[in-house]
Every structure is written in structure tokens, then in C-alpha cells.
Amino acid sequence: RKEVEQDPGPFNVPEGATVAFNCTYSNSASQSFFWYRQDCRKEPKLLMSVYSSGNEDGRFTAQLNRASQYISLLIRDSKLSDSATYLCVVGYYNNNDMRFGAGTRLTVKP
Amino acid sequence: DTAVSQTPKYLVTQMGNDKSIKCEQNLGHDTMYWYKQDSKKFLKIMFSYNNKELIINETVPNRFSPKSPDKAHLNLHINSLELGDSAVYFCASSQEGRELMTQYFGPGTRLLVL
């Protein structure tokens, strides 16, 4: 079983739609949680950290459920520029180790 | 200025050759990493160094040898290249500490072994 699992998609949605991505992680010792974004043929970049209390950044909302070992990302009012692969990431403070999911591909269409 | 840089950007070579990829970061970070992203786009950690000391060494063939001459540089040398080594290799860096774990990635090195 992979340490971080995501639905690979693809998710094809129209502009303005709301879309949600889910992620599960297997190691209960995971300590930090993130969503990264990767555009085609580019490097991954941090989208947002994920906190137990949930956090929001504009149109993006991230949630963490430690009991269920589940992380989510909600994108409201999708834009064409949101088209990318979204990577779920878990980390460990003691050695700065980071484990990436395989990513969920999103295409937003006009 | 580029925060994390890698050279070369593209590398096409024959099976059996030895090649190196260089990585430099100017962010003052303590930790540097090498990741491999295969054709299925799965990003997998290979190595991490903290202040020139090897911290993480995943199950990677001995043909791969990282070298960190100082904390701003982490190079990757690959001996006897194989077809399965074809992938995109990303270098990354991060700072230590709970709030500082954000990883900054280089632009990637696209390796094709023929």
C-alpha cells in the first residue's frame, strides 16, 4: 500500500465549478501536511499547508482529519489557470522527510 | 535570482555511461533532496542531506551516489546508466523546523537513456 494515496483523476470541470480532491495517508506518525501544485513539465510548488483546524486561502480550502488519516482540498469558482496536477504531501519533522502522493490531475474547461 | 538551480536541464545519453547532475540553492537552507519522477508522474524521494550529512537514503541502486561539498550544493552521480533510469530528477531544499518545511524545487533534469 502506498504511503500517500490520491485519486489520479483526471477531473474535467467547467469554469466556475467547485471541485474537491481527497487524499489518505497510511502512517499515523505523519506530522505535517501540504498540497503542492505541479504544472505540466514544471516543478512542484507549494499551494498550501494543511492544519488540523482547516485553513482557507482565497478560493482554496484544505482540511485534515487525523483520526481518519484523510486530507482534502476544495477549489471553488474554478479558473482555467487552476488546470494542473495537485499533489498531496505528508512530512516528518525529525528528519524533514516528505512523501508525495501520485497526484490528481485537474483540467478546467471554458 | 533562481532559488534552486539544476544543470543540465536535459540529458540524453547511452546505456552504460556515467553522468552527473548538479544542484545549487541560494536560500540558505540546511536540507537538500533528490527526487525521481517517473513516466507515471510519481515523485519519489531518493536522498536527503542536512548540512552535508546524509539523512535519508531510500532504496536506490548503488549506481546512484549523492555528494554534498557544502550545504548549498547537492550533486547526483549515476554510474552505468540503465534504460529504467530515464525520468525527471528534481533537486529541492527546505529549512528545518515545523513551520519551515516547505520544499523549494529546482526546474528538474530530464534524463533519457537510450
- Distance from the Cα of A27 to chain B's closest Cα (Å) equals 16
Non-local (6+) Cβ contacts of A58 within 8 A are none
- Distance from the Cα of B97 to chain A's closest Cα (Å) equals 7
The per-residue pLDDT for A1 is 67
pLDDT digits (tens, 9 = 90+) for A59-73: 999 999 999 999 999
* Number of alpha carbons in the 13 Å side-chain half-sphere of residue A41: 3
pLDDT digits (tens, 9 = 90+) for A10-59: 999 999 999 999 999 998 887 889 999 999 999 999 999 998 888 999 99
pLDDT at B97 over 80: no
Q: How far apart are CA B92 and CA A38, in angstroms?
A: 14
The answer to whether the Cβ–Cβ distance between A98 and B45 falls below 8 Å is yes
B77 and chain A in contact, CB less than 8 A: no
Q: How far apart are CA B40 and CA B44, in angstroms?
A: 11
pLDDT digits (tens, 9 = 90+) for B40-84: 888 999 998 888 888 888 878 999 999 999 989 999 999 999 999
Identity of the residue in A36, A43, A91 whose CB atom sits nearest the CB atom of B106: A43
If phi > 0 it is left, if psi is from -120 to 50 it is alpha, else beta; for residue B94 that is beta
A94 and chain B in contact, CB less than 8 A: no
